[in-house]
Amino acid sequence: MKRVVLIQFFLFVFSLSFGQCYVLKNEEILFSFKTKNGKKIVLAKDINNEYIIYRFGTSKKIELEYPKEKSKNSWNLFTYDYYHKPGGPENNAMYLNSVYFKIGTYQYSIFSNVYLTNEKNDDYEFGVSVFNSKNGKTSTIKGTYIIKGTLDDFKDNNLLKPKLD
């Protein structure tokens, strides 16, 4: 019995050393979703509001982590914008939320949009769009389901500055 427990322990430790973590122990998820190809997008913050961070990738490889330096300055690198058109389905109400950050010539927009219609199913979309200012092209990765959180909370929590064009 001892031997089985010991083997399980070493397998667990071994698996941790090769997997990468979307959220560290001192972090909490603000907004996270899974993409069509099984990757995750995570927007997280330190539990003491020391920093905010974006991660994209798989459990085996984080492909993008921004910013690299986890510091108070990270809060200045992200902005928030929203547009709410009230009125319910009869007026085609909409709730658009986006968090922005920029890396070089690439402008990232993490978005969560709700469109209320008179149809049986309202339209709900979320994902990340990447605009390349060098060539003017935009790529969008749509989410398949939300794991945790909502961007709507940024409207009232004052964690991010509003986006100014």
Query: What integer pLDDT is reported at residue 60 of this predicted model?
Result: 86
DSSP states along the chain? -HHHHHHHHHHHHHHHHHS--SS-TTEEEEEEEEETTS-EEEEEEETTSS-EEEEEE-SS-EEEEE-SS-SGGGGGG-EEEEEEE-S-GGGT-EEEEEEEEEETTEEEEEEEEEE--SSSS-EEEEEEEEEETTTTEEEEEEEEEEEEE-GGGHHHH--SEEP--
Query: In tens digits, what is the pLDDT along the chain, a chain of 165 residues?
Result: 555 444 444 333 433 333 457 888 999 999 999 999 999 999 999 999 999 999 999 988 999 999 999 999 999 999 999 998 887 777 778 899 999 999 999 999 999 998 887 666 668 899 999 999 999 999 999 999 888 999 988 988 888 988 876
Bond preceding residue 67 cis, omega within 30 of 0: yes
Question: Tokens 């989410």, residue?
Answer: 143
Model pTM score: 0.81
Distances (CA, A) of 152 to 8, 68, 136, 161: 42, 26, 28, 14
